[in-house]
Amino acid sequence: MCNNISNLKTHRFFKNTKYPLAVFFIALLIGTVMNFCKYGPYITPDTIGYFNMAQGKDPELTSLSPFYSYFLSLFPFSLISIFDRAIVSGILMFLLAFYLLFKMSRKIGENSVNYFFAFGISILSWWSFRVLGSAHADSHFYLMFLFWIYLFIWKNERSTLYLILICFLSALMVWVKLNALFLVPLLALWVIISKEKQWIYVISATIISWLIYRWNMPENILDLHLSNQVVLQASQLSTIGLFYENLSTWFQVNLALLFSDLLTQHIPKPLAFTSALLSFAFLIHYLVKSHNQHNNPIYKALLISFVYSVFFLGFELKIGYKEINYRTLFPQLVTLSLALWIYLIQYNKKKSILIIGLLITSYTLSGHYIIWQRNDVASLITAKRFDNSKQKETIERILNQNHQQIFSNSPEKIMLSFNTIDVLQIAPKNRFIEGKNYPLSDAETELERQKSIQALKDGSALVVLFQPTKEDLETYNIHGIKYLNENNMAIFYKDRLTQ
């Protein structure tokens, strides 16, 4: 009798949460599809290098992931334009990610639909879809990491074929993103906890892959960082100061799973730092106390989350960087999200499920709406339209061998079309230092503008302005500088005859 009542309550719980979760999931899916149709994959400065490598133009870019560009160069991708390759790749990553979520939710067992919708909400959330849907190696690493999670947490068989598969996947992940090296300490700790010595083969495969990677590309990004061959901020923080800064930001980024990072970044640093210490203390206490239940999916997910956090925070401390954000922490955020949803659904936390689902849906859809109002989005579709436009042809007619730079108010629009020239922002508002954007003062912004004017006068640069204002036209109306205005674009340049 008691069992029947308990089963009836459980059935009602899942029935009551399934439909709201489905509504949240569908709303986020519609927002994501609309965003992808409007902008396509998001691009970064690294995208230039990946595109060059995929087309065989610059094989020496060893600081970037060799796998992503190699993937884009394969048949049948090679039959379409480089822009379309990245778009098709982005769609493929989303489809495969949802297939893996389906497999994960089925492995958990009963009420798999609830788990699928819950996991899907996190995958489509603001921080996640911008990584998975980017024209960057991060998107491929995200998918491979999901597959690795599936094999590690939910694939119970330990056959020879299983070990070969996860050894190969772990080794391949190194060539996609060097963050995969965190698997070494993770699996070393797992061998101690689980007593499963066969994981030593996976550790060995990962290390061997890294050694081959280093031998093949000795000037890789990791060695460049560890040898301090990177540009650092003039006034570096002390080790303690850097630890305080990074750990505080770590908590702010993690809390952004539930709230927008626009809100969590304003949490006072002392509060964020204290909360981060308490979070790590709780994680360590749980992992030590529950080590006898190490096969529990929640335990495995939190172990991955904990080890990645320690690994990455330690690396940032070693190289003196402050690059703590959703892009660098997404492996930890994924596993933390999975653990959170599994706990809430298993223990029938109906109110928490609905509140968290509503929070994620609200801030993600708000983010979509805000970005749709902007004209400076780093969009691959926008870049593709420009690449096929008359505007590009006009710039090509004016460019000559003396031009080494293009200054523009929309560099994200043209940087992929002129990937052998430095495309720079006119009067930038921020500067990227040590892995973090720092706001520039008005005086510093004006100084950057003056650099573009000086380069224009020297004849070493073009200035390209889209939808220029009257003030823009007056600023660059300089004696000896020619001016062309057509197709809502103004180009300022020094004529080659006067150089």
pLDDT in tens, 134-181: 888 899 999 999 999 999 998 876 788 999 999 999 999 999 998 999
Q: Which residues contact 133 (CB under 8 A, 6 or more apart)?
A: 32, 35, 36, 41, 42, 90, 93, 94, 139
| Helix pair 297-319, 326-346: axis angle to 10 deg | 160
Mean pLDDT computed over 298-314: 96
Angle at 98 between CA 97 and CA 103, to 5 degrees: 100
Tell me how far apart the alpha carbons of residues 310 and 279 are, in angstroms, rounded to a whole number.
Answer: 12
427-442 per-position pLDDT tens digit: 888 776 655 667 778 8
Q: Read off the pLDDT of each residue in 206-211 and give the average, rounded to a whole number.
A: 96
Residue keyed to tokens 């093949």: 216
pLDDT band with cut points at 50, 70 and 90 for residue 55: confident
Looking at residue 62, its pLDDT comes to 56
The pLDDT assigned to 182 comes to 96
Distances (CA, A) of 181 to 175, 203, 308: 10, 9, 10
Alpha-carbon distance of 355 to 403, in angstroms, equals 55
Q: What is the pLDDT of residues 467-498, one digit of tens each?
A: 888 887 888 888 878 888 887 888 888 876 55
Question: What does the DSSP assignment read for 118-176?
Answer: HHHHHHTSHHHHHHHTBSSHHHHHHHHHHHHHIIIII-----HHHHHHHHHHHHHHHHH
pLDDT at position 435 is 53
What is the band of 232 on the pLDDT scale with cuts at 50, 70, 90?
Answer: very low
Q: Indicate the helix (H) or strand (E) that contains 94.
A: helix 82-108
Asked if the model's pLDDT at residue 23 lies above 60, the reply is yes
Average the pLDDT over 319-347 and give the result.
Answer: 91
pLDDT of residue 60: 58
Q: For 212-223, write each residue's pLDDT tens digit.
A: 998 888 777 776
The pLDDT, as a whole number, for residue 163 is: 92
Residue ranges per structural domain of the chain: 1-156+348-380, 389-498
Confidence class for position 5, pLDDT limits 50, 70, 90: very low
Give φ, ψ of 464 to 5 degrees.
-115, 120
